[in-house]
Structure 1
Amino acid sequence: MTSTKINKRPGTGKAADRYEARLLWTGNRGLYALLQAARQTGPIARVPRLGWVVTDPVLARRVLNDHAHFGMAGEGGVGHLWTQLFGPEMAQFFGGARHAELRTRARDLFTEDSARTLVERSQGAHYRAMGARLAAGETVDVADATRVLAGRLVADLLGLPGERHANGSHTNGSHTNGSHPNDGSTDDSYRRVFAAGERLAGLAMGTTASTHLPPDVIDEARTVVDEITVGVDEAYRTAGPDTILGRCREMGLGLPLTRGLTTLLAIAGTETGASGTSRTVALLHDTGQQELLLADPALMANAVREGLRVATPAPVIGRHVNRDVTVGGRDLREGDRILLLTYLADNGAGPFDIRRDYVPETRQLWFGAGRHLCLGAAVARTQVTRMLETLLHEGRPYRIVSRQAARRVLVPTYASLEITIG
């Protein structure tokens, strides 16, 4: 891993650019090379072996909203990967009415108010403990904290066995292991789940040119899935109606399909959430703009939006062309694959700047668009906000003591990001 010691207080956008580039290069060199090459193409271009590549935010949103011509279950879409692991029922779910039904039934779990309640319940005690450590002059590893916090939040939301409430209570059939919310051994279990998710996501690193998985990779992936879903069978039977697994049971979704959805949500809720949070913390520091936020706390929503825009934890979204269609003046044929380079589409608006007004062209493209728009958008924003509030609680800027970029990961992120106050 790449380690950097910070001995002075940075304040330039160029520093932020260098660190972001290093994250991409260290984490996923194939992704880095693709993004660099695509900077030289037009809004939509055909690339040998990869298919169509889109770098324009308006065209990307059009593709994501056009469910008649573009799908997830065919070659090129993430649903194709999941179908190989969990069977044809998963492919039917991605494009069928049951997917819309689940989103409708679960929507109340993802409102702004529900997001605040969920984050406070599953993570609040940890933020308070982190703030106390910083106030005492200690150093905290934000990257490690994001992994633990993301694991706790997803376990709570899904209804998996574990700490459901910060005070150790449980309701609606959810479970508790009786441990204190800051118990290190409990945190280790969430670190292990996060690491398993990284391993599973890492198996998809070679699928940019094709989403067909060889048999040995499928076998390895299923072993990791068993590790991630070890508590799903029990939770499916007992989880309360205020959880995703409880809603799946009420809908009559079978256990195999529910295990697939659990795996998908576990990765989507941990890998991208941890990346977006730690990178926003670093961007605010590396550009010196935490001073602006300290001076004007009303800029918090802008800071969170800008961090997620620039980091774009889901830098590429794949789709399968279901039928002939014209996009941006180019004719796409049935069976083609298309890669939406959301990282370039989002960053085309300019560098990180918490004073930037809302950009309608990008909107929330870092969360996707259409019927597969990330349900947890409000939860992600709340998590990032809560982390920044914790780090800036003392009214003084924080300082990055050292950092390490994660190596060989699908979602570029920090392996460690050590921070202190002052």
Structure 2
Amino acid sequence: MTSTKINDRTAAARHEARLLWTGNRGLYALLQAARQVGPIARVPRLGWVVTDPVLARRVLNDHAAFGMAGEGGVGHLWSQLFGPEMAQFFGGARHAEVRTRARDLFTEDSARALVERSQGAHYRAMARRLAAGGTVDVADATRVLAGRLVADLLGLPGEGRTDDSYRAVFAAGERLAGLAMGTTASTHLPAEVIGEARTIVADITVGVDEAYRTAGPDTILGRCREMGLGLPLTRGLATLLAIAGTETGASGTSRTVALLHDTGQQGLLRADPSLMENAVREGLRVATPAPVIGRHVARDVAVGGRDLRAGDRVLLLTYLADNGAGPFDVRRDYVPETRQLWFGAGRHLCLGAAVARTQVTRMLETLSSDGPYRVVSRRAARRVLVPTYASLRVRRDER
């Protein structure tokens, strides 16, 4: 390996480490410490920590032994905000029904149509700006674009909504997600935090009540109404989608843009456009926007030769599990051990996986359409649950 390639990979790793450190120092410390503990280990105050991708998938696929609604599971956080109906939803038949009824909205073809409808004009404007020698803040663009996409998918009216309104919703989502930053040791939220969270939820879900009554059948809110889901549960699902579809999507997109630049691999992609699928997969693998997934142990079970007891907590460190395959490389083939673990696994596998891949693809195509791009400045986001860039400014590389 040449010294240039080594330096490029070192630079990319350094920028990623800075994102983790700046965004969430507790998460950064946990990931650093967990590199030394092996595939699965019990950590005082935290519970079981899993760093192996095969074991992580085993946990995510065993819905009888591991749940989301008990202490330690991500669903436990949501049930405290939206009540016991939300807790029952995460592990019940209605969850499967919603996924089944909404699946056609998330196919590859539907994803392409959704991204074009909600974001296409913005990508074309971005390409024109770059071609004219201008600068684009990719991080800011991803926040606006993600907001527009989720509003379209939910069925929220877009008339009169400005880019600033989508930035405001994204910022509210970051504040809400940030309230969970201290839940690594316990997912129980203090009463004052729940109160603050509900105030933020009210900001995020402005327009949901009206859209629930009027949204068409080709939207999430319309499907919820047709299924007879009550407005409170629908409001909770809308909040969950708003965060899952914006925070992680924006992070994965901007970080993939940075990784492709920092590793010096734009030339490989431009020389062989068929590598685009690899580039997108690699960006999401290395970034892993959901770096930790929590589960509650519902019954005694053995995993990786260790005995886990009912009531225990499990932290799946997906960031380490995914990055064990090596650094970002657009020439890397599909890695069966990870199998897109960054989207989760089992019945809670991210329904919007095709949408996320389409968004990243469209951004890379836009930035590379008329020549390579270069990052002219960047700034990591501070105190956020999902590590990301607050600013990532790029322009056409004229060198």
CA contact (8 A) 1:6 1:400 kept: no
CA spacing shift, 1:137–1:185, aligned 2, 3 Å? farther
Pairing 1:106–2:99 present: no
CA contact (8 A) 1:151 1:193 kept: yes
Per-residue deviation at 1:126? 0.1
Cα distance in 1 between the residues matched to 2:311 and 2:266: 47
CA spacing shift, 1:348–1:120, aligned 2, 3 Å? same
CA contact (8 A) 1:279 1:311 kept: yes
Per-residue deviation at 1:161? 1.7
Cα distance in 1 between the residues matched to 2:50 and 2:7: 40
RMSD between aligned residues: 3.4
CA contact (8 A) 2:8 2:263 kept: no
CA spacing shift, 1:258–1:6, aligned 2, 3 Å? farther
Cα distance in 1 between the residues matched to 2:290 and 2:52: 15
Per-residue deviation at 1:136? 0.1
Q: Which runs of 5+ in 2 are unaligned?
A: 395-399
CA contact (8 A) 1:275 1:412 kept: yes
Aligned-residue identity in percent: 91
Cα distance in 1 between the residues matched to 2:351 and 2:74: 16
The TM-score normalised by the length of structure 2 is: 0.96
Per-residue deviation at 1:209? 0.3
Partner of 1:270: 246
CA spacing shift, 1:3–1:240, aligned 2, 3 Å? farther
Cα distance in 2 between the residues matched to 1:138 and 1:5: 29
Per-residue deviation at 1:160? 1.0
CA contact (8 A) 2:178 2:384 kept: yes
CA spacing shift, 1:5–1:142, aligned 2, 3 Å? farther
- 1:196-246 deviation line (CA, Å, top 9, x unaligned): 000000000000000000000000000000000011000000000000000
CA contact (8 A) 1:77 1:319 kept: yes
Cα distance in 2 between the residues matched to 1:391 and 1:115: 20
Match for residue 194 of structure 1 among 170, 177, 200? 170
Per-residue deviation at 1:84? 0.3
Cα distance in 2 between the residues matched to 1:271 and 1:332: 32
CA contact (8 A) 1:74 1:80 kept: yes
Match for residue 291 of structure 2 among 293, 315, 336? 315
CA spacing shift, 1:6–1:203, aligned 2, 3 Å? farther
Q: Stretches of 4+ moved more than 3 A in 1? A: 1-9
Per-residue deviation at 1:185? 6.8
Cα distance in 1 between the residues matched to 2:267 and 2:231: 50
- 1:331-358 deviation line (CA, Å, top 9, x unaligned): 0000000000000000000000000010
CA contact (8 A) 1:3 1:405 kept: no
Cα distance in 2 between the residues matched to 1:153 and 1:216: 32
CA contact (8 A) 2:343 2:349 kept: yes
Cα distance in 1 between the residues matched to 2:192 and 2:182: 14
CA contact (8 A) 1:275 1:313 kept: yes
Per-residue deviation at 1:8? 12
Partner of 1:180: none
Partner of 2:143: 147
CA spacing shift, 1:252–1:337, aligned 2, 3 Å? same
CA contact (8 A) 1:3 1:404 kept: no
Partner of 1:203: 179
Q: Superposition pairs for residues 260-409 of structure 1, below 5 Å?
A: 260-395=236-371, 397-409=372-384
CA spacing shift, 1:238–1:56, aligned 2, 3 Å? same
CA spacing shift, 1:44–1:7, aligned 2, 3 Å? closer
Q: How many residues align?
A: 393
CA contact (8 A) 1:55 1:341 kept: yes
Per-residue deviation at 1:162? 1.1
Cα distance in 1 between the residues matched to 2:4 and 2:254: 16
Cα distance in 2 between the residues matched to 1:276 and 1:224: 24
Cα distance in 2 between the residues matched to 1:80 and 1:8: 41
CA contact (8 A) 1:158 1:243 kept: yes
Cα distance in 1 between the residues matched to 2:4 and 2:212: 44
Task: Find the residue that maps to 1:52 and give its secondary structure.
Answer: strand
Per-residue deviation at 1:377? 0.1
The TM-score normalised by the length of structure 1 is: 0.91
Q: Which runs of 5+ in 1 are unaligned?
A: 10-14, 164-183
- 1:160-195 deviation line (CA, Å, top 9, x unaligned): 1215xxxxxxxxxxxxxxxxxxxx970000000000
Match for residue 44 of structure 2 among 42, 45, 48? 48
Cα distance in 1 between the residues matched to 2:8 and 2:355: 34
Please identify which structure carries the higher helix content.
Answer: 2
CA spacing shift, 1:345–1:8, aligned 2, 3 Å? closer
Q: Superposition pairs for residues 149-228 of structure 1, below 5 Å?
A: 149-162=145-158, 186-228=162-204
Task: Find the residue that maps to 1:8 and give its secondary structure.
Answer: helix
